[in-house]
Structure 1
Amino acid sequence: MFVIYLYRLIRCKFTDEGCVALTSALRSNPSHLKDLNLFNINLRDSGVKLISTGLENPHCKLETLWLSQCKITDEGCVALTSALRSNPSHLRHLNLSYNNVGDSGVKLISTVLENPHCKLETLRLIQCKFTDEGCVALTSALRSNPSHLRHLDLSDNNVRDSGVKLISTVLENPHCKLETLWLCRCDITEEGCVALTSALRSNPSHLRHLDLSDNNVGDSGVKLISTVLENPHCKLETLWLSQCKITDEGVFALTSALRSNPSHLRHLDLSDINVRDSGVKLISTVLENPHCKLETLKLSQCEITDEGCVALTSALRSNPSHLRHLDLSDNNVGDSGVKLLYELRDDPHYKLETVM
């Protein structure tokens, strides 16, 4: 049996005429195509309406649909969500990022999510121009049907602290299975972190990946997040905090938490914050712990010098087996620092694969 798992037509410059042919083919043979990526195509609402006629076919087995940057508005969402309500059980991954979906579009998508037959696991809505109003509908749907969605990306929207508070009511639900939450560039402050960390303390066992990059979290917000990390039931593997306006004070709280519970976090991004050498020395006390399992450490643009490299390489010599990727780009690391790092990379006892 011939099965197509991935069909990519990224930036292929076709119009409605191409969509007519594509959807006609899907209607005549709907059961084989599993993944369709139409990123950055001038699809518009008319194209989405055509694709939706394929999705509503009960024999359609499409699991992944990427419609990022396709000039879709809430009008296209009407057709798409209507099709998914009539045939909700197959689609697993939906990306509508960089479209003018707005609050009205998110409300329509939410009617799909609240359907108990909906099996969506991934929903990406980066820069879709929705606000608190959209968050209300989205979180209401997830509270009524919390058990399927695994990955949610709301980055670069006007979510703010009020939106995070709504999302937190989903996270604290013991039936919630969210593993990945992206909230990059969402105007979140310490106030949002209070709600988020409270929810994660009450239900710490599911979330694996959290991105809070480019928010005004600050030291107070990182201290709150650190109370989650030190919980032995916390299973966070990825924490992205780049451009979060953190200083030594926040790094101290973070590394203190990781020393008390070092075994879960795998990927940490502290790029473009005021870490400096003093912060690197604190991070090094985590890396030298034999229970530390960090595989990726990003410290780009952190005002680190050779002094920080001495502490870092000393820690890695005492615990060489886990770190795979180290990013120290755009720091004031001199020749002696570079020499220390590359001696580690070239030593067969170390597992470093990438040094930037």
Structure 2
Amino acid sequence: MEDTRTPRDQELSPGCSSVHQKRSKPEPSCVSMKSDASLDHLINFKSEDTRSILPPRSETKPVCEKYDQTMNQPQDSTYPGVSHEVLIMFRSNLMKKFERLYEGTAMQRNPTLLNEIYTELYITESESGEEEELNEFCLDKFVKGKNNPENMNVLQKLLPVIKESRSVHNEFIKKKIRTIDSPEKSINLFHCLNELGDRSLVEEIQQYLKSGGIKEAKLSSSQWSAVVFVLLTSEEELNEFRLDKFVEEQNNPENMKVLQKLLLVIKESRSVQLYDCGVTDEGCAALASALRSNASHLRDLDLSWNKLGDSVKMLSDVLQDPHCKLEKLGLYNCGVTDEGCAALTSALRSNPSHLRELNLSWNKLGDSVKLLSDVLQDPHCKLEKLWLSDCGVTDEGCAALASALRSNPSHLRELNLSWNKLHSVKLLSDVLQDPHCKLEKLWLSYCGVTDEGCAALASALRSNPSNLRELDLSQNKLGDSVKLLSDVLQDPDCKLEKLGLSKCGVTDEGCASLTSALRSNPSHLRELNLSENKLGDSGVKLLSDLKDDPHYKLESLYYCSVLVS
């Protein structure tokens, strides 16, 4: 028969038979191949293209030549008469073909020949004894395919071959997982194990999670990767992530190592609770980066009691992202500075319509509160709850807040200004009496409220009694001014449910006025706190009778530092 092979074919093809020939025959065999000109460019697959790298199955033997044995090259036991170097050449060549084929398939969306070339590669490699390199190669292609939805139909055809292969096996994948420190890099390997039916690592972690013993367990990197895989593939939606479920100690910088391991889970969680977890600048930076990559998903973030300082500026970058839909942000006692507050408010001005709750209590903000006022008066601002307890808010800051609320009174529902020396409560009273004001909870504990301030508040509540549900005036020296509040309580339109008057200097006379008001309008107040007031026997008797009377709706009554229930 005339030899029609090219010089390139002659160089690469020793005398051998096709891989489709039965391997039980004694004559040497190897993989038949076409010209390698295709290696110089991507294979262009067309839908009607029916070419095959393998010859069609037939009884006709392909033309073969014996390799010259006079070169004294080492021989391979599987292929008598074929040198080991030649088999290595075949392996390298087939891998290159597979890569070209893989790329061409991804571009043309046509899986033509992929299964055949993989089978050809598998037979050659597994019989040559060079398994680990093939494992690496095929696993890499499998993982890349998992990340590319266009290749999933191809992988479905490959999976039976991979499952039967002695090369791509479970122990090899586990070995790879153990060498990778990042869950982000190993997550696809767990998908491979899962599809190959091995759930041993996953089931081990599930036991830890169910028993709650994961806090005490010293997990390896691969086990943390398994934790991530279990949480991400759970049928339950990731509604809340709490770092304290995975660490033993609160406020420990070592917790940041665990945080880094679980960033993939954080990215997919609706609520992230990191209260008092020792979040550092580095941890805050990693968290902000993770949140930016999936900005539209998170709704609730609590970083309270972490020393963040100016790291808050990194979170501001997330907040100003137009895709950010964060609704609750807790930064209680985080060391937020004027600069950090400025960055936050700038972000909220850029994207004001989503945040509903902001807690900045116990941060020394001072006059930076005026910057928040600029956000509040924006008609697009939908903030409903604002906590600024012990923030160093001055009368000037309070005036700015009151002005903002008068401009946009219809959204804010809760305002906490406790532990700020305000004195000018009258400005807030002007807001309360606005019929458009929807404020339901107002905390002014330890604010230096005077008799005059109490009178202004009472007057405002008489003008607009139907919205406020909770009022805390504890630790203000009100004395007999409490009688002014009694006039509000006896109004049938008053809907107040909780009233805090702890340590206010309330006397027996003031107590008598309160109980009289409640007898006139007994149906709304649920909780009354009169603890740490020097009440005499008459005052205590009035309160006891009030508690025992079934006509009143009081559920909790505090007096003389004792809870009566």
User: TM-score if structure 1 supplies the norm length?
Assistant: 0.90
8 Å contact kept, 1:155–1:183: yes
Give the residue type in structure 2 aligned to 1:119: K
Residue among 270, 288, 295 paired with 2:497: 295
8 Å contact kept, 1:13–1:41: no
Give the residue type in structure 2 aligned to 1:154: L
Distance in 1 (alpha carbons) for counterparts of 2:475 and 2:539: 19
Residue among 320, 341, 351 paired with 2:543: 341
> Does residue 352 of the first structure (1) align with residue 352 of the second (2)?
no
Alignment of 1:158-169 (within 5 A): 158-161=364-367, 163-169=368-374
* 1:3 aligned residue: none
Q: Secondary structure at the match of 2:262?
A: helix
Deviation at 1:51, TM superposition (A): 2.2
* 2:44 aligned residue: none
* 2:190 aligned residue: none
8 Å contact kept, 2:386–2:416: yes
Q: In the TM superposition, what whole-angstrom CA distance separates every residue of 1:302-329 from its partner, at most 9, and x where no partner exists?
A: 1112111100001111111100000000
* 1:229 aligned residue: 432
> Does residue 269 of the first structure (1) align with residue 465 of the second (2)?
no
Deviation at 1:333, TM superposition (A): 1.2
Q: In the TM superposition, what whole-angstrom CA distance separates every residue of 1:41-71 from its partner, at most 9, and x where no partner exists?
A: 6354323222223334xxx2x1111111111
> Does residue 142 of the first structure (1) align with residue 348 of the second (2)?
yes
Deviation at 1:25, TM superposition (A): 2.0
> Does residue 83 of the first structure (1) align with residue 290 of the second (2)?
yes
Q: CA RMSD in A?
A: 2.2
8 Å contact kept, 1:9–1:37: no
* 1:257 aligned residue: 460
Alpha carbons of structure 1 residues 263 and 198: separation in structure 2 relative to 1, 3 Å:
same
Alpha carbons of structure 1 residues 70 and 30: separation in structure 2 relative to 1, 3 Å:
same
Distance in 2 (alpha carbons) for counterparts of 1:268 and 1:187: 21
> Does residue 97 of the first structure (1) align with residue 304 of the second (2)?
yes
* 2:279 aligned residue: 72
8 Å contact kept, 2:376–2:408: yes
Distance in 1 (alpha carbons) for counterparts of 2:513 and 2:331: 41
* 2:66 aligned residue: none
Alpha carbons of structure 1 residues 9 and 207: separation in structure 2 relative to 1, 3 Å:
farther
Deviation at 1:92, TM superposition (A): 1.1
Q: Where in structure 1 are there 5+ consecutive unaligned residues?
A: 1-6
Distance in 2 (alpha carbons) for counterparts of 1:204 and 1:215: 22
Alpha carbons of structure 1 residues 176 and 21: separation in structure 2 relative to 1, 3 Å:
farther
Deviation at 1:8, TM superposition (A): 12
Distance in 2 (alpha carbons) for counterparts of 1:15 and 1:275: 55
* 1:45 aligned residue: 256
8 Å contact kept, 2:370–2:401: yes
Distance in 2 (alpha carbons) for counterparts of 1:243 and 1:176: 29
Q: Secondary structure at the match of 2:481?
A: helix
Distance in 1 (alpha carbons) for counterparts of 2:385 and 2:221: 32
Alpha carbons of structure 1 residues 20 and 131: separation in structure 2 relative to 1, 3 Å:
farther
Alpha carbons of structure 1 residues 20 and 84: separation in structure 2 relative to 1, 3 Å:
farther
Give the residue type in structure 1 aligned to 2:471: L
* 2:377 aligned residue: 172
Q: Secondary structure at the match of 2:552?
A: coil
30-39 vs 173-182, which moves further: 30-39
8 Å contact kept, 1:34–1:64: yes
Distance in 2 (alpha carbons) for counterparts of 1:138 and 1:20: 38
> Does residue 326 of the first structure (1) align with residue 528 of the second (2)?
yes
* 1:4 aligned residue: none
Distance in 2 (alpha carbons) for counterparts of 1:107 and 1:257: 39
Distance in 2 (alpha carbons) for counterparts of 1:86 and 1:230: 45
Distance in 2 (alpha carbons) for counterparts of 1:268 and 1:203: 21
Alpha carbons of structure 1 residues 21 and 345: separation in structure 2 relative to 1, 3 Å:
farther
Deviation at 1:354, TM superposition (A): 0.3
Give the residue type in structure 2 aligned to 1:107: K
> Does residue 211 of the first structure (1) align with residue 416 of the second (2)?
yes
* 1:182 aligned residue: 387
Residue among 439, 448, 466 paired with 1:245: 448
Distance in 2 (alpha carbons) for counterparts of 1:72 and 1:54: 17
Distance in 2 (alpha carbons) for counterparts of 1:343 and 1:95: 43
8 Å contact kept, 1:19–1:47: no
* 2:514 aligned residue: 312
Alpha carbons of structure 1 residues 24 and 136: separation in structure 2 relative to 1, 3 Å:
farther
8 Å contact kept, 2:266–2:272: no
Give the residue type in structure 2 aligned to 1:214: W
Q: In the TM superposition, what whole-angstrom CA distance separates every residue of 1:101-130 from its partner, at most 9, and x where no partner exists?
A: 111x11111111111221211100011112
Identical aligned residues as a percent: 58
Give the residue type in structure 1 aligned to 2:474: S
8 Å contact kept, 1:20–1:50: no
Give the residue type in structure 2 aligned to 1:69: D
Q: In the TM superposition, what whole-angstrom CA distance separates every residue of 1:278-309 from its partner, at most 9, and x where no partner exists?
A: 21101101101111110000000011121111
8 Å contact kept, 1:8–1:38: no
* 2:32 aligned residue: none
Distance in 1 (alpha carbons) for counterparts of 2:220 and 2:477: 50
Q: In the TM superposition, what whole-angstrom CA distance separates every residue of 1:63-96 from its partner, at most 9, and x where no partner exists?
A: 1111111111221111101111111222211110
Distance in 1 (alpha carbons) for counterparts of 2:210 and 2:410: 35
Q: In the TM superposition, what whole-angstrom CA distance separates every residue of 1:247-273 from its partner, at most 9, and x where no partner exists?
A: 101101111111111110000000011
Q: Secondary structure at the match of 2:286?
A: helix
Distance in 2 (alpha carbons) for counterparts of 1:20 and 1:288: 66
Higher helix share: 2
Distance in 2 (alpha carbons) for counterparts of 1:202 and 1:14: 53
8 Å contact kept, 2:231–2:265: no
Q: In the TM superposition, what whole-angstrom CA distance separates every residue of 1:162-182 from its partner, at most 9, and x where no partner exists?
A: x11000111001111111000
Distance in 2 (alpha carbons) for counterparts of 1:44 and 1:81: 17
8 Å contact kept, 1:69–1:99: yes
* 1:201 aligned residue: 406
How many residues get paired? 341
